[in-house]
Amino acid sequence: MTIETVTGYQFRPEDLGVADRTPGISAFLRTRNGADFVEATIRSHMPFYDEIVAVYNQCEDNTAEILGRLSTEFGGKLRVYHYADRVVPLGSREHARTPGDSPHSMVNYSNFALARTRHQIVVKLDDDHLAIPSEVARVCRSFREGSADLSVLHCFSGLNIARSTGGRLGIPAFDPVSGSGDIGYFRIAEDTFFFHDRRFERFGRGRLRRSFAGYLYWHLKYLKAGQGFRNYELDSNPDSRFARKQARLDQTRMLDLPDTVREIRPRLPARLSAMFSDKKALNCARDLAAAEAFPDASLEQALDRLSPGWRQVPGLGPREG
């Protein structure tokens, strides 16, 4: 498959082509130095989507080669683009002052990937999301059968997985859950696209209400090279909030699954505040749902039950020796 290289692109809302979209589910994935888990991410999600659009930028590893090989294997279901302009890192002062329609903005880069999707239902993937197949299938089935509420952004989350200094898998106590309303399945419209925030690229959900759809993946960011902080260019951005986050990761304790479920269960003050805040209500529903989603005695038991092939994923499975 030919990989198209793009430079100088500037997003316009009409690029979404809402009226020309066909029934089905598209995923879009942006990746920079994603070789650790991008293949596992694509393989674990591909059975459920009509297409995945993968866009890579500034890769110094073999991400491009992996995507090229997979695009040949999957044909038109995986379409790959090389976004050639430098995209400034989130968390940097440079991002804060870069306009959202600049080819160098994460906002513009994200909107390019979104605009390349072709179906009516869209979801964003990160390159370190290992699917929980039964849960992804459940949500996708609701859209295909027509039972999904199209006035809702169907938000989903995943548990963060990291390693202790001894190499054991665990869940970092300071950051156990990924996803707090920023990702979800939605019917694309003229007003559903990314816009600039000084801190990050913010998704504009238009008139969509948010609802929690479940735990759909395992978040493997902290298992990546550089603990997943490599792309933030922290040597040049020492005051980035991601530098502080990496320091917290280095100092945190690792939890097993039952302890995580207990610790994130919302207490009464959180439940009361959820009555007055859409965002807090979503997070409260997410944290309450963990007990039902993960009744397992350990993280490894949950991985075995929900993602049986996890031991064969390089970087996630048991370490040799």
Q: What is the pLDDT of residues 138-162, one digit of tens each?
A: 999 999 999 999 999 999 999 999 9
Task: Give domain status of residue 321, yes or no.
Answer: no
pLDDT at 320 over 90: no
pLDDT of residue 321: 47
Helix (H, G, I), strand (E, B) or coil at 165: coil
The string of DSSP codes covering 80-146 is EEEE-S--PPTTSHHHHHS-TTSTTSHHHHHHHHHHT--EEEEEEE-TTEEE-HHHHHHHHHHHHTT
- Model pLDDT for residues 234-276, shown as the tens digit of each residue: 999 999 999 999 999 999 999 999 999 999 999 988 898 888 9
Where in the sequence is the domain holding 47, given as residue range(s)?
4-312
**pTM for this prediction:** 0.96
Q: How far is CA 318 from CA 163, 169, 310, in A?
A: 11, 9, 9
Domain for residue 318, yes or no? no
Say if 320 falls within a structural domain.
no
How many folded domains does the chain comprise? 1
Residue 299's pLDDT band (boundaries 50, 70, 90)? very high
